[in-house]
Amino acid sequence: MLQPFDYDPNEKSKHKFMVQSLLAPPEMTDMEVVWKDAKPEELMDSKLRCVFVMPLENDNMHDAEPKVSSSSSSTLKSESSTLPKSASAALDDTEVKKIMEESRRLQQEVQRLRQENKQMREDDGLRMRKNTAMSAPQPSSSSSGVGLKEEGASTRLLALSVLFFVIGVIIGKLLL
């Protein structure tokens, strides 16, 4: 079934792009092989949002090139500055090694935290099973004690309500 919607004509001039980058070794010449052999943890992803502004009708025809809005132009500049023309020219080898080492360290930490989370879930599951196993035989013996306590509480409540009723009647007779 078709649903009504608000059509925004500006939406067709907005685009999002996923930009993937990879640090390639300087001795590699075949980029196809570099991309095929890349591990997922070596890839760097970033979103690029562009808004194309159509020129006004009274502008010249040679100015009819699509323009990028100021918010995305800064993104474009930062993306173009981070994407080096060659890996060795833009970044120092020491910086690359530091970045890769930190990436590996963070991935190891994520892996360790996942293992710890999994272990905690297993421990919680065992603890819950032990609690249910220990509490299962007790309901038959403890239910009679709980029943007596509830019965005693209800008789107390009944006695107090009768007492308050009698006191209320006496006070009512005295005042009237």
Q: Are residues 68 and 101 in the same domain?
A: no
Looking at residue 85, its pLDDT comes to 47
Task: State phi, psi for 8 to the nearest 5 degrees.
Answer: -105, 110
Q: Do the domain assignments include residue 152?
A: no
Number of domains in the chain: 2
Q: State the pLDDT at residue 1.
A: 62
Alpha carbons within 13 A on the beta-carbon side of 32: 0
Which ranges of the chain have pLDDT less than 70? Answer: 1, 7-10, 57-91, 136-150
In a domain, 115, yes or no: yes
Same domain, 54 and 79: yes
**Domain around 112:** 92-131
Asked whether residue 35 falls in the same domain as residue 100, the answer is no
Dihedral in degrees, nearest 10, Cα atoms 4, 52, 79, 71:
-80
Residues 42 and 21 in one domain: yes
Give the pair of three-digit tokens for residue 56.
């006004």
Residue 17: its pLDDT value, please? 86
37 and 81 fall within a common domain? yes
Residues 76 and 109 in one domain: no
Range 111-149 burial, b when 16+ CB lie within 10 A, else e: eeeeeeeeeeeeeeeeeeeeeeeeeeeeeeeeeeeeeee
Are 74 and 103 contained in the same domain? no
- Residue 168: predicted pLDDT: 92
49-79, pLDDT tens digit by residue? 888 777 776 655 554 444 444 444 444 444 4
For residue 138, the model assigns a pLDDT of 53
